[in-house]
Amino acid sequence: MDLARSTARVGTGPAPIRSRRPLAPFASLAGRLVLAVVFAAAGWPKLLDPDGTVRSVRAFRLVPEALVPAFGYGLPVLELALARLLLVGLLTRWSAAAAGVLLVMFMIGIAAAWARGLAIECGCFGSTSGPVVDPTRGYALDLLRDAALLLVAGFLVVRPRSPLSLDARLGL
């Protein structure tokens, strides 16, 4: 191993892109942006409607009532914070891991509601033409979407390095 390359590796700048997988960092950048946009889009309307968010949390019947308001008020702040961290690429591995935890939480919530036959919206419950309108399609799509996002988050945890990130700038 020649000396030049080994000293290059111990510098305080960003790690050199491995020549074996030149695409991974760009995939990570894409992953960061996708998650950032999704979490911002999820968190912003929740932030604007705190009472509605608390009711939504309550509707899933998974969090004890005493914690429902804290959850409902705090969740959008967390989502937006994660979106911002992922956007600028700061603490990418941790943000992606936290995003993954939230996604798992959402998936559990949706799966539980589906299994228990809860209907969380207007119209899912009751139809004038007969028995309960089946919310299966909505729940299935939501689970698929969250699973895909979970894969993205997982990838980011394993490959957090990407260009245009504060992590790279700060040498983290």
Partner 1 sequence: MTNARTVKSAREKAAEMRAEAARKETRRRSILVTVVVAVVLVVAVGVTVVVRQAQHDDAVAAAQAPAGTPRNVGANFGIATGPATTSAGKPRVVVDMYEDFQCPICKEFEAADGAALKSWQQAGIVQLVYHPVAFLDRESTTNYSTRALDAAASVQDSSPGSFQAFHDLLYTNQPAEGSDGLTDAKLADLAAQAGADRATVASDLGAQRFQAWTVQATDAFSQKYTGTPTVLVDGKQQQSMDPASLKAAVAAAAAAKGLPAPK
- Using CB under 8 A, list all residues that contact partner 1: 3, 6-7, 9-12, 45, 49-52, 54-55, 58-59, 61, 65, 69-70, 73-74, 77-78, 81, 85, 90-91, 94, 118-133, 170-172
Contact between 72 and 122 under an 8 Å Cβ cutoff? The reply is no
**Minimum distance, C-beta of residue 56 to partner 1, in the bound complex (Å):** 9
Count the neighbouring beta carbons within 10 Å of the beta carbon of residue 52: 12
Rounded CA gap, 5 and 40, in Å?
Answer: 41
Which is nearer to partner 1, 26 or 94 (by Cβ)?
A: 94
Least separation, in Å, of the C-beta of 67 and partner 1? 10
- Based on its alpha-carbon atoms, the radius of gyration of the chain, rounded to whole angstroms, reads 20
130-142 exposure pattern, b = at least 16 Cβ within 10 A, e = fewer = eeeeebeebbeeb
Maximal CA-CA distance, the chain? 78
Q: Minimum Å distance from CB 77 to partner 1?
A: 5
Of residues 26 and 77, the one with the C-beta less far from partner 1: 77
Output the smallest distance, CB 120 to partner 1, in A: 5
Six token digits for residue 62: 């998974």
Q: Considering the complex, what minimum distance in angstroms separates the CB of residue 154 from partner 1?
A: 20
Cα end-to-end span (Å), the chain: 25
Choice between 51 and 158, CB closer to partner 1: 51
User: Which of residues 7 and 19 has its CB atom nearest to partner 1 in the complex?
Assistant: 7
